Each structure stands twice: as structure tokens, then as C-alpha cells.
Amino acid sequence: MSRLISLFAVLFLFWVVLSGFFTPFLLGAGVLCALAVAWLANRMDVVDHEGHPIHLGPRLFTYWPWLFVEIVKSAWMVSKIILDPKLPISPTMVKFTPGQRTVVGLVTHANSITLTPATISIEVAPGEFVVHGLTRENALACIDSEMDRQVQRFEGQRAVKDAA
């Protein structure tokens, strides 16, 4: 139930931000639309720990800043490779076991790998990631990485218990 209420609140906030008008008619229409979407989503059975992961809460806001710094660092590194006249690439694929136990954790890890330039996650399954790296070092750096530990901290202990 708390998930449904939170979904309604988020949807209504989204409506208000996108519209920017505060007339009774438009606010009322927003409430009706948010209610309708929340009802439909509930009927489709997608309001769960995957579809609306509110249990992650404030941890999201400590993980993202760390990720942004990583993105800028590797974007700078790829830029240097591109601008190097010799184009020093050594494309490599690695297969390894990620440390996450929940679906949300695995998706976050895979998305973070793809978001940082120089690495792309190609196969994603529980217990097996296949990652393509622009250089051998980039690809090997994904195995037992700091990112792996950060995402484990991000998915939390309670989430692991829920999935088990």
C-alpha cells in the first residue's frame, strides 16, 4: 500500500512539474490522471520492489554522485585515446561473476558499466556478466571492481533478504 501511495505522489509531482500551472482544473486533472495510472499499474502488477524501488531511498543519492565522478574520469580517458594519433585500443571481452544478489542490483551494476565510457555490458545474468572493454585494462578493471562493491552497498542488506 505504501508503494501505491508513493507511486501516486511521484506521478502527481511529475504532472505538476511538467505542467507548471496551478489552476484548480489542471491540478484536479493531474490528480485524476495520477490515480488512473496508479490503478492501471496496480492491475498490471508492476508496482513491486523492481518497478517502484522506494526501499533504496536515500542510498540512491550517495551512489549517483560517485557514479558521475567515474563517468567523467573514464570519458576523459576515452577522449585521450580518441585524440591519440596511434589510437591505442586493445578490445577485450571478459566474463566474470558480479557480487549482487537482487535484480535491481544486477541491473544497476550492468547499467553503470555501460554508462561509464570504455566498458559495455553485453550479457547480463545472475552470476555471469560479459563485458566488452575498449582496452584490456578497462575490461579487466570490471572484475571485482570498486563499482561492484559500491552497488552491493547500494542494494543493501534488507533487499538481499527480500530476494532470498
Partner 1 sequence: MSEVIYVLSWLSVTVGAAFCIIGTAGMIRMPDFFTRAHAASVPDTAGAGFLLLGMMLQAGLTLVTVKLIIIGILILFASPTATHALCKAALTRGLKPPMADGEVISKR
| CA 3/CA 149 separation, integer angstroms | 27
Sign for the pseudo-dihedral over CA of 115, 119, 120, 122: negative
> Please, what is the minimum distance in Å from the beta carbon of residue 46 to partner 1?
16
CB nearer to partner 1: give 110 or 159.
110
Q: Which of 33, 56, 92, 101 binds partner 1 (CB under 8 A)?
A: 92
* 95 touches partner 1 (CB under 8 A): yes
User: What are 130's strand-pairing partners?
Assistant: 95, 123
Q: Which stretch in 24-32, 38-46, 92-100, 148-156 sits in contact with partner 1 by CB under 8 A?
A: 92-100
| CA 27/CA 16 separation, integer angstroms | 7
Within 123-142, which residues bind partner 1 (CB under 8 A)? Answer: 123-124, 130, 132, 134, 136, 139-140
Q: Which stretch in 24-32, 47-55, 105-113, 151-159 sits in contact with partner 1 by CB under 8 A?
A: 105-113
Which residues touch 4 (CB under 8 Å, ≥6 apart)? 38, 42, 47
* 103 touches partner 1 (CB under 8 A): no
User: What are 124's strand-pairing partners?
Assistant: 129
| CA 47/CA 114 separation, integer angstroms | 26
Cβ 56 vs Cβ 156: under 8 Å? yes
Count of residues interacting with partner 1 (CB under 8 A):
45
If 0-12 CB within 10 Å is exposed, 13-18 middle and 19+ buried, where does residue 69 land? exposed
Within 27-66, which residues bind partner 1 (CB under 8 A)? Answer: none
* 163 touches partner 1 (CB under 8 A): no
Residues that bind partner 1 (CB under 8 A): 14, 17-18, 20, 68, 71-72, 75-76, 78-79, 81-83, 87, 89-97, 110-112, 114-124, 130, 132, 134, 136, 139-140, 143
